[in-house]
Chain A
Amino acid sequence: MRVCDLAPGQLQHLLGGSGLRLRTGPFVTCIRSSLDEVRDGVALHYGQHPVESDDGFADFEVAVDRKPGLRRWLKPQVRFLVDGEDIFTPLPGDQGFPMLEWGLNWCVSGLAHQYLTLHAAVLEREGGALILPAPSGSGKSTLCAGLLFNGWRLLSDELTLIEPDTCRIVPLPRPVSLKNASIDVIRAFAPQARFGAVVEETLKGRVAHFSPPHDAVSRADDRAAPGWIALPRYVAGAATNLQPLGKGRAMMRLVESAFNYNIHARRGFAALADLVERSDCFEFTYSRLDEAVQQFERLAMARAAGGA
């Protein structure tokens, strides 16, 4: 059963009661929340995701709710709980859905150490994964959004999960988060994108999410082999420029981007080195999204023709 198959009122009933056991990629998260914006966000963005049975195992138990006390009436705040523990600074009351998304990212990056996890967007084409490791503000999510509306399959816009022993990339298709000017860029670039509410004045500025494409969700079990690693950098006015990157420097960027590299120790080193070895590595500068998409289209075509 998918979230969109739930009977009217059932989503709210689950979120407000025993919890919605939502499958996203390899994880099941039990989500509880009485907030309308969380329910609406889940309904909009996770409609195609599977719902697991009430008595099944959940990797993460989370809740997003109003912080209790007088603040509840004067200046409402929302809090994110993991296993009942309130571990984050509360946020203003209208940020329930972004907080759920950020909290889920934290759960995966901080708790799911069966994978080597990178702070990187990742897409797939012709069976090969394109990994885009980059810090916030580098244009990673904008580029990811542009590509997923042009033939690339979304695996994740934020977290690249690597199976250490196989070096394959595990999909984690979830809503794509955009910030500030990127929101309008993608609205214009891909009018079909299903955006939720724009939330103002978050810690990251203006934030909006759009829904993952249906094929990304339905193919969440299809892992991808290493293909390309590109370090994206948006520079206003810059020409589109894709330059080969030495594998040693690419490896060091992956190490910097990894959340749990040291936990995996030698195995983590071997996994990242294998990933780099099997990928074509680049530095990529862009300012025009249409040109950027064309550049990666050429890479995909070369791979399809056996020339990658």
Chain B
Amino acid sequence: MSAPVHLAGRYKADAAALEWRDWGDEWVVYDSCQARTHLLSAEAGEMLRLMIDRSCTVDELASALFDDAGTVESTLTPDERASIGRILDDLGRLGLVEMMPS
């Protein structure tokens, strides 16, 4: 099992290893490195998709997911930030994302 991720740093998914289907509320992801299939929520799926295109910080993920006006710093509640952290943590535990070396 991968170590838990933290809220600092940048995270990225291995685009070459993943296949996915987006069915609205439910996403299914196939990780060819581990030959495992995962059921994800829409939020987790969207976050994963963002990290396939580029490495992201928690704030960048929050901005993309929650804030259309780019004012995430002022509008994101601590609970929302923690929620993103938990999802990121789950994706890390599943081995779907990893922290980029600084």
Contact = CB atoms under 8 A, between A and B. Distances in A.
Interface of A: 246-249, 251-252, 255, 261-262, 265-266, 269-270, 273, 276-277
Nearest to B23: A247
Contact of B27 (A248, A262, A265, A277): A248
A252 B28 CA distance: 8
Interface of B: 19, 21, 23, 25-28, 30, 32, 35, 37, 39-40
A269 B39 contact: no
B25 A273 contact: no
B23 A269 contact: no
Contact of B30 (A246, A248, A249, A266): A266
17 contacts: A246-B23, A246-B26, A247-B21, A248-B25, A248-B26, A248-B28, A249-B26, A251-B21, A251-B39, A252-B28, A261-B37, A265-B35, A269-B30, A269-B37, A270-B19, A273-B28, A276-B23
A270 B28 CA distance: 11
Nearest to A256: B37
A266 B23 CA distance: 18
B39 A252 contact: yes
A246 B25 contact: yes
A151 B19 CA distance: 38
B48 to A, nearest CB: 13
